Structure 1
């Protein structure tokens, strides 16, 4: 018995020593070699696929410098350690693509280095100093300190990421830049630097292009005297450009006949097979009309100086044709036109192009060369200032084309486009461009200052037949019914006046025109719908999709926004004057037919839909061309007669078409119709988020989609930790190992005692308890 107890005690102490040694070894190895087993549901400690893909594509290393205050606030005492740990993880995971260093800024040198840090874009991080707990906290000042990253890549200007914090209190969850978002912050900075659009010199540009620029010049052999000078100027300019940049061009010159059938279509000397193997020639503007005989649509003879340019960009080959040199008067003018075209083909597609609706006469006379003035006009400058994306107004009529260096072409109210404008957009889409169509089915006069305040004047927006036909050709139809919802915003307003002056007031009444998006309406897996919950959709209509047609074309469809539950369509009392009474209420049984299949009676102004309407959809794939498929003529400009048959697109690509049933999200004509406190933080903020999603998805593509998928991950700390809680967990950790050992020892003692009793019972030394009780009773 004594030996058994001695063996057990010896075994207990031996196990205790071994466990302590094992814990010490694990602790030492953890300090020397950092590793983490990621068991989180969102894999927040694992490098995302988007970041891995981005790092694989990089040709130069990333350098990250962390500038941190040598004496941060007391609650940020572990800030440098947390950031350093995260940077070390990224450096190891990047396979050598990321290098980092930490630079401390002492208090005594902060003033001396202030201008140097400001040049790098570094700004102090501010913390609010409070007293009391969260519920009774009072602000007593601000404390500034440095905590910023400077990310460098290649020759681009370094980018600063300011205000990096670790999570120590609940308010830190709302910070834009945190330790757990560093992966995205760094990767996004590199993405933007990789897509810098600063134009280099022409020689540097040619040196960047992997393969020689391919140029083919097609010229009519014999021309009338009025075209001979243009031909000679283009010939001289192209020859001079090729000869002065030896080895940078693959140049072919071809003399062609003036006969139409022999010259309209020419073989592509650089692409022998496929859709790109043929080129449609352009001809001089006057030659077309001059040679028409007996009403023919195609002249008997044409005269052309046509230049095909093909450039290998980082995304692959891109090409375009220059067939109109009438605005180039000199050799230098022609060379500049060619150089601009080569840059347009090579540069990253980072610009956003906007096509605006026609000019509103109520805004005065339109200035020459300026965008049309209407409710959408401020959107361009607002996006450029707030989102910092390069935006341009695309004047399709003036430029006679859509620029090919656009990341995305956003068309506001495309239902008003001319047929030739739509044809040019069609060519851009078929070539692999990204197009967003924001359709406006209805408009409203919500300013009731000069009108009776008993109704809102509504009107249907016209839709050109060629637009409806074009949409139907790709499998989309825009419905005519105005959609309503009980949670809608946007009401009538008026300018009133009292003794203090003029002021704006919302006209009271339940009538609302902008259904508000709810989380259930959004495709949560799409980058296009991130952060759009609570965004109002003014005067929205349904966009339906023909699934059979989509399948026939081989396109992929992604539903983005589908309004769920309790959606109604507006039934105007007088379709010719579809006004909405201010008193109209979707909750009123006398005005609403809730049975989708019921027959609306007298006085009914809305009926519930029998389905959830789709209002935003994305189509992806190689799109067909309406004019090519149906062998139509190219539409003329501004009433000009039709031209020749639309030629096949020479360089088809995979494009994206996004159709939305409203264009008025940030239309300034409607902003005053929302509650004042919601205009800036809700309406404008969500509207800008929508355009930010469009911009980033189409500029950065799948790389950013993968990065964004993990933006805003759940913080590890959800609130402040007081001293008592810290002490409790400290004691638990200190006493944890002995407590575990004592528990294991107790369990082992109990098990050994049971074994000993069973052993003694088997030998007859100890009787079973039940038998002992029976004998005692006897």
Structure 2
């Protein structure tokens, strides 16, 4: 009897093919999962690479030695405009967690989530005590003005330390949408720099020396910036007469509003420190303004200082001009404008000698910075210095007036209406960043106090960076006259406004001293692409119908095509 051969039916053959295809897909998924576990990569397809962490941030997060927790209080039922900031914070922390792994965790808390008003107010008070102040941010939604009380803060904790992070940055004069965009651009730097403070990487801390001995600002008037510096650096007071050689002892020096001249020996030590790679921050006035004499006599005369630093700065590429700048974009001073009953009536009046600066370069030091406050400032010119790159960091407004020394000063001038036609010296630079290999002022000269000849070419010259701001009061904080406690740098008691002086100085210090390059993250730019609000308002209904109807139509079309294909495939069985 001959064996019979079973011929598989077409249905059985197709079923076997489907099983093989299913098994191949499952195997490919297992293989892909295995490869993904062994080889990590992420793709950022956005034009600005907005989801890509900088190498400095990746290194910082990958080297975390202890758990870090970020508590974000920016959560709740926000309008779409505000939700962008919340979503930006969430996306940034999610990306950071990829590199920080188990050592980085974050949570979001809605401050308004309490069921009762009493519970909500109690939680608000808890946040106030932590130094977290709410912000009333406005935006236009659907043609209506919307205002929302939010807490744009995060608290970073690690190893018993905690730091508050303000998430809403940017210029206050910008439109709300633009300010939110500036805040999103700076999220990576704000969070990464704070994580570095509470969980510092290994290695020696940089050493910062504040020069004394020439009538510089006392510790009480530098208290706020000294405290801020000490979070990342070791800070010392340095007397140039006591320290013969700054090299090897310090990484940067700060010259904070000197009023007495430097000797040639002291200037030589500064020069050798800078030309051998040391960093320096100069906050120097070109003119002396004695406010005590103004308050006593009602008038004073601003005259040039003799600090013996002009030739040093000139060699490095800048010149502080002996003048004062008046700017129509300015701060205020309190003046007696009359008498009410038997009491004087005091009102704040504009004072053009206190410029408010909100024109900045795109440098990482000043990008997306809020306005800064200056007092009795002169302009800075650049001069030829080979191999030195000069960056103007900030300038006055379009309506600026320049008065050469000697300049008469009288507070009663604030009562007068300024004539805009006199303010024709637009956009005067008041701050410069200098970078490169600096040539010694004492080249081809005998060193002061010795008979040793200083050669022209220094074989040990190293690249350096210098910040020069022509306002010695730029880093001076006020002191509360009642309690004697220092106030926050940049805080103006008259307007109850905090300006960004402190932030600029910290950014500049990081730029000068941080070799990891984390400060470069501040240069990150995200392009704002707003919708055409006029077109949107005029064609609102058709777009709504399209957004609702198009997905349903596509789903119905897909179902119809799939049903037709299945019917055609299985009709012959």
Whether TM exceeds 0.5 here: the answer is: yes
* 1:191 corresponds to: 196
Alignment of 1:423 with 2:268, yes or no, is yes
Alignment of 1:458 with 2:288, yes or no, is no
Q: Which secondary structure state, in structure 2, belongs to the residue aligned with residue 187 of structure 1?
A: helix
Distance 1:571 1:179 in 2: 43
* 1:475 corresponds to: 317
Q: Which secondary structure state, in structure 1, belongs to the residue aligned with residue 321 of structure 2?
A: strand
Question: 1:663 offset after TM fit, Å?
Answer: 1.5
Distance 2:497 2:136 in 1: 25
**Deviation per residue, 1:342-399 (Å, 9 max, x gap):** xxxxx331x443225744xxxxxxxxxxxx6x5x643321213466645432222234
Q: Name whichever of 383-392 and 178-187 sits farther off.
A: 178-187
User: Is the Cα–Cα contact under 8 Å of residues 490 and 670 in structure 1 kept in the other structure?
Assistant: no
Distance 1:545 1:651 in 2: 26
* 1:691 corresponds to: 505
Alignment of 1:539 with 2:376, yes or no, is yes
Specify whether residues 513 and 420 from structure 1 end up closer, same or farther in structure 2 by C-alpha distance, changes over 3 A only: same
Distance 1:662 1:50 in 2: 33
Question: 1:430 offset after TM fit, Å?
Answer: 1.5
User: Is the Cα–Cα contact under 8 Å of residues 257 and 472 in structure 2 kept in the other structure?
Assistant: yes
Specify whether residues 713 and 100 from structure 1 end up closer, same or farther in structure 2 by C-alpha distance, changes over 3 A only: farther
Alignment of 1:557 with 2:381, yes or no, is no
- 1:47 is matched with which residue: 36, 53, 63? 53
* 1:8 corresponds to: none
Specify whether residues 52 and 706 from structure 1 end up closer, same or farther in structure 2 by C-alpha distance, changes over 3 A only: farther
Q: Residues 176-215 of structure 1 correspond to what in structure 2 (within 5 A)?
A: 183-192=188-197, 195=200
Distance 2:377 2:296 in 1: 24
Q: Is there any run of 5+ residues in structure 2 with no aligned partner, and where?
A: 1-32, 114-128, 169-174, 482-489, 532-541, 561-573
Query: When the two structures are superposed, what TM-score results if normalisation uses the length of structure 2?
Result: 0.62
Question: 1:500 offset after TM fit, Å?
Answer: 8.8
Alignment of 1:438 with 2:283, yes or no, is yes
Question: 1:421 offset after TM fit, Å?
Answer: 1.7
Alignment of 1:619 with 2:434, yes or no, is yes
User: Is the Cα–Cα contact under 8 Å of residues 301 and 409 in structure 2 kept in the other structure?
Assistant: yes
Distance 1:125 1:669 in 2: 22
Greater fraction strand: 2
User: Is the Cα–Cα contact under 8 Å of residues 491 and 497 in structure 2 kept in the other structure?
Assistant: no
* 2:487 corresponds to: none
* 2:468 corresponds to: 659
* 1:382 corresponds to: 224
Distance 2:544 2:65 in 1: 42
**Deviation per residue, 1:517-551 (Å, 9 max, x gap):** 233xx21x21222455532332222222223xx23
Question: 1:422 offset after TM fit, Å?
Answer: 1.4
* 2:205 corresponds to: 348
Question: 1:489 offset after TM fit, Å?
Answer: 3.5
User: Is the Cα–Cα contact under 8 Å of residues 165 and 194 in structure 2 kept in the other structure?
Assistant: no
Q: Which secondary structure state, in structure 1, belongs to the residue aligned with residue 471 of structure 2?
A: coil
Specify whether residues 743 and 463 from structure 1 end up closer, same or farther in structure 2 by C-alpha distance, changes over 3 A only: farther
Question: 1:435 offset after TM fit, Å?
Answer: 0.7
Specify whether residues 378 and 177 from structure 1 end up closer, same or farther in structure 2 by C-alpha distance, changes over 3 A only: farther
Q: Name whichever of 378-387 and 177-186 sits farther off.
A: 177-186
User: Is the Cα–Cα contact under 8 Å of residues 182 and 368 in structure 2 kept in the other structure?
Assistant: no
Q: Which secondary structure state, in structure 1, belongs to the residue aligned with residue 474 of structure 2?
A: coil
* 2:358 corresponds to: 518
Question: 1:612 offset after TM fit, Å?
Answer: 4.9
Question: 1:457 offset after TM fit, Å?
Answer: 1.0
Distance 1:457 1:65 in 2: 55
User: Is the Cα–Cα contact under 8 Å of residues 367 and 522 in structure 2 kept in the other structure?
Assistant: no
User: Is the Cα–Cα contact under 8 Å of residues 209 and 237 in structure 2 kept in the other structure?
Assistant: yes
Q: Residues 594-743 of structure 1 correspond to what in structure 2 (within 5 A)?
A: 608-609=424-425, 612-627=427-442, 629-635=443-449, 642=450, 644-646=452-454, 651-667=460-476, 678-682=494-498, 685-701=499-515, 703-710=517-524, 735-740=549-554
* 2:412 corresponds to: 582
**Deviation per residue, 1:42-85 (Å, 9 max, x gap):** 43323235424656xx556675446699xx96779x99999876
Aligned residue pair count: 470
User: Is the Cα–Cα contact under 8 Å of residues 157 and 198 in structure 2 kept in the other structure?
Assistant: no
Q: Which secondary structure state, in structure 2, belongs to the residue aligned with residue 394 of structure 1?
A: strand
**Deviation per residue, 1:613-672 (Å, 9 max, x gap):** 433222112222222x1232234xxxxxx4644589785322112222221235568999
Q: Which secondary structure state, in structure 1, belongs to the residue aligned with residue 472 of structure 2?
A: coil
CA RMSD of aligned residues (A): 5.8
* 2:27 corresponds to: none
Query: When the two structures are superposed, what TM-score results if normalisation uses the length of structure 1?
Result: 0.47
* 1:285 corresponds to: none
Specify whether residues 87 and 487 from structure 1 end up closer, same or farther in structure 2 by C-alpha distance, changes over 3 A only: closer
User: Is the Cα–Cα contact under 8 Å of residues 180 and 713 in structure 1 kept in the other structure?
Assistant: no
User: Is the Cα–Cα contact under 8 Å of residues 64 and 199 in structure 2 kept in the other structure?
Assistant: no
Distance 2:503 2:555 in 1: 56
User: Is the Cα–Cα contact under 8 Å of residues 437 and 462 in structure 2 kept in the other structure?
Assistant: yes
- 1:402 is matched with which residue: 240, 246, 263? 246
Question: 1:587 offset after TM fit, Å?
Answer: 0.6
Answer with 1 or 2: which has the greater Rg: 1
Specify whether residues 395 and 630 from structure 1 end up closer, same or farther in structure 2 by C-alpha distance, changes over 3 A only: same
**Deviation per residue, 1:535-583 (Å, 9 max, x gap):** 2332222222223xx23xx2222222244644332157xx5x8455834
User: Is the Cα–Cα contact under 8 Å of residues 623 and 655 in structure 1 kept in the other structure?
Assistant: yes
User: Is the Cα–Cα contact under 8 Å of residues 44 and 713 in structure 1 kept in the other structure?
Assistant: no
Distance 1:738 1:124 in 2: 50
Distance 2:150 2:366 in 1: 37
Q: Which secondary structure state, in structure 2, belongs to the residue aligned with residue 665 of structure 1?
A: helix
**Deviation per residue, 1:291-321 (Å, 9 max, x gap):** xxxxxxxxxxxxxxxxxxxxxxx7xxxxxxx
* 1:300 corresponds to: none
Q: Residues 273-292 of structure 1 correspond to what in structure 2 (within 5 A)?
A: none
Distance 1:440 1:81 in 2: 45
Specify whether residues 546 and 64 from structure 1 end up closer, same or farther in structure 2 by C-alpha distance, changes over 3 A only: same
Q: Is there any run of 5+ residues in structure 1 with no aligned partner, and where?
A: 1-31, 108-121, 197-207, 209-313, 315-346, 360-371, 595-607, 636-641, 718-727, 747-778
Distance 1:676 1:392 in 2: 28
User: Is the Cα–Cα contact under 8 Å of residues 65 and 150 in structure 1 kept in the other structure?
Assistant: yes
